[in-house]
Chain A
Amino acid sequence: MLPTDIKDPEYFHKVVDCQYACPAHTPVPEYIRLIARRQYTEAYVINWESNVFPGVLGRTCDRPCEPACRRGRLVSETSADGKPEEPVAICRLKRVAADNKGDISNWLPQVPVEKNGKKIALVGAGPASLTVARDLLPLGYIIDLYDENPRGGGFMRSQIPSFRLPVEVLDEEVDRVLDLGVNQIFNQRVDSLEALLAQDYDAIFVGTGAPRGRDLDLPGREEADANVHIGIDWLKSVAFEHTEQVGKKVVVLGGGNTAMDCCRTARRMGGEQVTITVRSTFDAMKASPWEKDDALREGIPFLPNHTPLTYVCDNGRLVGMTFDRVESVYEDGKRRLVSTGEEPVFVEADDVLVAIGQEVSFPWIEQSTGIEFNEWGEPVVDATTFQSTNPKVFFGGDAAFGPENIITAVAHGHQVAVSIDLCLNEKDMLADRPAPGTHLFSTKMGIHEWSYDSPVTNDERFAVPHLANEVALVDRRAEVELGFDPQIAFAEAERCLNCDVQTVFEEKKCIECDACVDICPTNCISFVGNADEKTLRATLSAPADQTDQDLYVSGDLPTGRVMVKDENVCLHCGLCAERCPTAAWDMQQFSYTVTKACRIPGPLTGKPANV
């Protein structure tokens, strides 16, 4: 293999598993260290720069970082069951920063009074649009934000129940963006893109999400109509207080996160016997494991392997539904549901909530606008620039590629802002796209001392305490999760392995003494003859078959061999560097920030201009 190019910003970025997996590439280990040092404000600001909604995300994020966490690939010799570790509670630590931060006003970007003369329309006030607004306002753009609802926040407000996300937390973070000087055009649905294009906007961003919930048309649907609700429409009417109660017996159809929010909300709106029914097995349900746990903890039964057959009415009123019992059969990795042939099951219901998915919907975008759609009705959008087939119109968030999550919407928003700024300054949106900001510096403090906590703790993942059901289920607004207190937060933060503190190898210093090979607890390092990657992986001192994890290869050493480090299970414990007599290994902290349209101040991006 060729020697690894550690100057390529993506090489070390990939080693920081959590940050790499995060759509917005939030610098996770850096904020976790700040939390351990109780520098909550700085930890919050690092998040805010990167993901705009740390308080919201610290409670609701889909956490793609956690399954990627290095800790999850490790097994401790002291583990009683020999099972891999649970990942670091990255998401809930973020909440700790949000809950305990001080005043951040000094860190906020300055918005010029004198505008740059360019005007942008943002349609839909969800996280995608709000991110575009935040990144463009400090550059002097005029931002008009449209939404059909009375308040900003998009699905974060209309869908995510307040027992998971208190309104005050949402308001604080939505208002922080709006207060930068957004022109709020709320309670106004945009009905024609053509009309919008006819106005004097230099660019238009469509961040309307995926607002159409799927219905389930089965026999009896029409007769039962008064008591069959589309899950997302129902949640929205609860959020905006148009719906105050639900029947005693509720059936929820679907196994995703929307279904979990529907059933848990129903439990708090008068539903006494709320049942989740899903066609798949319990394990194959789409909902995140922790959302399923939360529903189970609230005493909500799951009926897996049940395919709905009919709505059953009595005297023109819904009384329940029938289901066919099925089995999931897998053929060539594809699932097929096969009826068991048993009698249909009847489940009583006063109300049915249909939570089987949602999709984009653009009845308001005319053909004349030149915007093309693919066969699924999604707009044709460039994956890097987010520009549509009309050069003035950009898409992002759920509206671009279908339903995802908040953090993806935010990540899109940053890139849209970069594109719009480049485009309106007559620059090339690909060639002139800014590289990420990176920085690498030694953490060496003394002979065997580092500026980070290098020892690896054996603590298992700490659980977030919950409000008791008796209190939680009677108040739709009472937040269920209580968050970590500072002591537990510290202990949980210490579980982080500091994957951003990189093992940097300088081959000209190496005397090939093997000390690093011998000390490495997880056998990451080998000195072997060079070969192609496949051969190398087979010759290292421990199995190296996780091919999505890179090999760090040095240039030729005096004995003709090369140093090969498998990044897969490196503990970042610094022992190789401590045992190296020549400091050929050094532990160097790597920071990586996605470059935004404008520089947002923060501990990694620099202090605000006025401080």
Chain B
Amino acid sequence: MSYQKPTFRHPQLPRNGLDLTRSSYEGLISTLCAGCGHDSISAAVIQACWELDIEPHRVAKVSGIGCSSKSPTYFLNKSHGFNSVHGRMPSVATGANVANHELTYIGVSGDGDSASIGMGQFAHVVRRNLNMLYLVENNGCYGLTKGQDSATADEGSKSKSGLENPFENIDLVGVALEIGATFVARSFSGDKDQLVPLMKAALSHRGFALIDVISPCVTFNNHHGSTKSYDYTRDHIHTGNIVDFVPARSEITAHYDAGDTTLVDLHDGSSLNLAKAQPDYDPGDKGAAVNALLKSREKGEILTGLIYIDTTEPDFHEVMSLGAAPLNSLSQETLCPGNEQLQKLNAGFR
């Protein structure tokens, strides 16, 4: 039994712009079940951060409770991390972001953590457009507590014991669109070719970026009759568009048929080249996005790809006019100017 990963790596591992190999972005060996989709998502985070030349110590990982929320331990060992309480990751992320908006925030949550106990917090972090990547590792169940149906379980999906879920499901993608998310995507843990560019786009987006990642629970929700299994997902997946992330100051090299691609510029100078798998659909048009989502649901398809993006909305930091300098870099006197100032302030309200 191996508790530790050997320290040997491929001798010719490529190095990124920081002269780091992927191994600098790894975490501890996973204790999740073998084959859990969450581990693939961790691997995708490692790949995306490495490719983006993000300095590991400039990342803060925040999570709630669940197998999914445990997974930050298994990537970015050298980053900041906060494993909070069930469904409360958004408030920890908001507080940290207010204190230091210069870090890259990666929130990791589960469908239980976000769509059940944390639904309230989820809604508010979306509408505040907090600058972060919010990953929902969506397996349709409470993996950590042995596989009870979660709120994202589809109506009619069978649990391991054979019972059908009688309730309508919550689609976090639909909810996020409705309440003002500026970057909404869905992907599948088993498709890193799609997931990694989406993550890179989300990490480069200024504002709230949700990626709802279907992430099969091999132990409790990967059987016949489940709509979140590897097989079911593969059979019903429908790619809305193919995202090609174009880093700042580089030429667009991907080739798609002219007319079928849209270029979206991001704030940090990078851009997204979106090749549409569906000709009549534009991810800049929220109405069209909602429509596409509803249509695919009617057809029993799982729509993946970048579903909606809006790069014009100000993020939480800007809305709150929190200033350029991170609050945690300000001195005690600046942050708490003393009783005299307080009295003056209060006098102004009288």
- Residues of A at the B interface (CB closer than 8 Å) are 73-78, 84, 448-449, 454-456, 458, 511-515, 517-519, 521-524, 542-543, 545, 558-559, 569, 571, 573-575, 578-582
Would you call A543 and B9 a contact (CB within 8 A)?
no
Q: Is B30 an interface residue, CB under 8 A from the partner?
A: yes
Of B36-44, B93-101, B163-171, B263-271, the one contacting chain A is B36-44
A580 to B36, CA, bound (A): 9
Chain B residues closer than 8 Å to A455, beta-carbon distance? 2, 4, 6
Bin the interface of chain B by size: 20 to 34
Would you call B2 and A448 a contact (CB within 8 A)?
yes
| In-complex Cβ contact of A77 among B1, B7, B42, B189 (8 A) | B7
24 A-B pairs with C-beta separation under 8 A: A73-B11, A74-B8, A76-B8, A77-B9, A78-B7, A448-B2, A511-B218, A514-B39, A514-B43, A514-B189, A519-B29, A522-B9, A523-B9, A523-B13, A543-B14, A558-B231, A558-B234, A569-B10, A569-B11, A573-B6, A574-B2, A579-B30, A579-B35, A582-B35
A559 to B33, CA, bound (A): 23
| In-complex Cβ contact of A513 among B8, B14, B23, B218 (8 A) | B218
Q: Is B216 an interface residue, CB under 8 A from the partner?
A: yes
A511 to B4, CA, bound (A): 25
A559-B6 contact given A84-B11, A515-B36, A518-B42, CB 8 Å threshold: no
Question: How far, in Å, is B232 (CB) from chain A's closest CB?
Answer: 12
| In-complex Cβ contact of B13 among A542, A545, A581 (8 A) | A542
| In-complex Cβ contact of B34 among A74, A84, A523, A581 (8 A) | A581
| In-complex Cβ contact of B35 among A75, A77, A515 (8 A) | A515
| In-complex Cβ contact of B1 among A84, A449, A580 (8 A) | A449
Would you call B2 and A523 a contact (CB within 8 A)?
no
Would you call B34 and A518 a contact (CB within 8 A)?
no
| In-complex Cβ contact of A575 among B2, B7, B14, B216 (8 A) | B2
A78 to B23, CA, bound (A): 12
Would you call B35 and A511 a contact (CB within 8 A)?
yes
A514 to B192, CA, bound (A): 9
Q: Interface code B190-227, partner A: CB below 8 Å = 1, 0 otherwise?
A: 10100000000000000000000000101000100000
Would you call A580 and B34 a contact (CB within 8 A)?
yes
Query: Which B residues between 36 and 56 are near A, CB-CB below 8 angstroms?
Result: 36-37, 39-40, 42-43
Would you call A74 and B11 a contact (CB within 8 A)?
yes
A542-B10 contact given A519-B30, A558-B234, CB 8 Å threshold: yes
Give 14 new A-B contacts, CB below 8 A, not counting A514-B190, A518-B39, A521-B8.
Answer: A75-B11, A76-B7, A76-B8, A77-B7, A511-B218, A513-B37, A514-B39, A519-B30, A524-B10, A558-B234, A571-B8, A575-B5, A579-B35, A581-B36
Would you call A580 and B35 a contact (CB within 8 A)?
yes
Q: Is B12 an interface residue, CB under 8 A from the partner?
A: yes
A581-B35 contact given A517-B43, A574-B2, CB 8 Å threshold: yes
Q: Is B230 an interface residue, CB under 8 A from the partner?
A: yes
A73 to B1, CA, bound (A): 25
Question: How far, in Å, is B182 (CB) from chain A's closest CB?
Answer: 30
Would you call A543 and B36 a contact (CB within 8 A)?
no
Chain A residues closer than 8 Å to B192, beta-carbon distance? 514
Would you call B230 and A512 a contact (CB within 8 A)?
yes
Query: When A and B form their complex, what is the total count of cross-chain residue pairs whose Cβ atoms lie within 8 Å?
Result: 108
Chain A residues closer than 8 Å to B33, beta-carbon distance? 581
A579 to B13, CA, bound (A): 22
A75 to B23, CA, bound (A): 13
Question: How far, in Å, is A584 (CB) from chain B's closest CB?
Answer: 10
The list of the 8 closest CB pairs from A to B, nearest first, reads A581-B35, A456-B6, A518-B43, A448-B1, A543-B12, A542-B10, A513-B35, A77-B7
Question: How far, in Å, is A452 (CB) from chain B's closest CB?
Answer: 12
Chain A residues closer than 8 Å to B234, beta-carbon distance? 512, 558-559
| In-complex Cβ contact of A521 among B5, B189, B222 (8 A) | B5
A75-B9 contact given A579-B34, A581-B218, CB 8 Å threshold: yes
Would you call B39 and A515 a contact (CB within 8 A)?
yes
Chain B residues closer than 8 Å to A449, beta-carbon distance? 1
Chain B CB within 10 Å, residue with most, of A458, A512, A517, A579: A579
A558 to B235, CA, bound (A): 10
Chain A residues closer than 8 Å to B30, beta-carbon distance? 519, 579
Chain B residues closer than 8 Å to A543, beta-carbon distance? 10, 12, 14
Would you call B2 and A522 a contact (CB within 8 A)?
no
Chain A residues closer than 8 Å to B1, beta-carbon distance? 448-449, 578
Would you call A77 and B10 a contact (CB within 8 A)?
no
Question: How far, in Å, is A285 (CB) from chain B's closest CB?
Answer: 28
Chain B residues closer than 8 Å to A513, beta-carbon distance? 35, 37, 40, 190, 216, 218, 230
Chain B residues closer than 8 Å to A545, beta-carbon distance? 12
Chain B residues closer than 8 Å to A514, beta-carbon distance? 39-40, 43, 189-190, 192
Chain A residues closer than 8 Å to B7, beta-carbon distance? 76-78, 456, 458, 521
Chain A residues closer than 8 Å to B216, beta-carbon distance? 513
Chain B CB within 10 Å, residue with most, of A512, A513, A519, A573: A513
Chain B residues closer than 8 Å to A77, beta-carbon distance? 7-9, 23
Chain A residues closer than 8 Å to B37, beta-carbon distance? 513
Question: How far, in Å, is B141 (CB) from chain A's closest CB?
Answer: 16
Residue of B nearest to A568 (CB): B10
A574 to B6, CA, bound (A): 11
A513 to B230, CA, bound (A): 8
Question: How far, in Å, is A243 (CB) from chain B's closest CB?
Answer: 50
A542 to B13, CA, bound (A): 6
Chain A residues closer than 8 Å to B34, beta-carbon distance? 515, 578-581
Question: How far, in Å, is A193 (CB) from chain B's closest CB?
Answer: 53
Chain A residues closer than 8 Å to B10, beta-carbon distance? 522-524, 542-543, 569
Question: How far, in Å, is B76 (CB) from chain A's closest CB?
Answer: 14
A551 to B10, CA, bound (A): 15
Question: How far, in Å, is B350 (CB) from chain A's closest CB?
Answer: 62
Would you call A571 and B6 a contact (CB within 8 A)?
yes
A524 to B6, CA, bound (A): 14
A89 to B189, CA, bound (A): 43
Chain B residues closer than 8 Å to A523, beta-carbon distance? 9-10, 13
Chain B residues closer than 8 Å to A84, beta-carbon distance? 11
Chain B residues closer than 8 Å to A515, beta-carbon distance? 34-36, 39-40
A455 to B2, CA, bound (A): 6
Residue of A nearest to B22 (CB): A523
A559 to B233, CA, bound (A): 12
Chain A residues closer than 8 Å to B23, beta-carbon distance? 77
A74 to B13, CA, bound (A): 12
Question: How far, in Å, is A122 (CB) from chain B's closest CB?
Answer: 47
Q: Interface code B15-40, partner A: CB below 8 Å = 1, 0 otherwise?
A: 00000000100000110011111011
Residue of B nearest to A543 (CB): B12
Question: How far, in Å, is B103 (CB) from chain A's closest CB?
Answer: 25
A521-B218 contact given A511-B35, A578-B1, CB 8 Å threshold: no
A74 to B6, CA, bound (A): 11
A171 to B147, CA, bound (A): 70
A575 to B2, CA, bound (A): 7
Would you call B39 and A521 a contact (CB within 8 A)?
no
Residue of B nearest to A448 (CB): B1
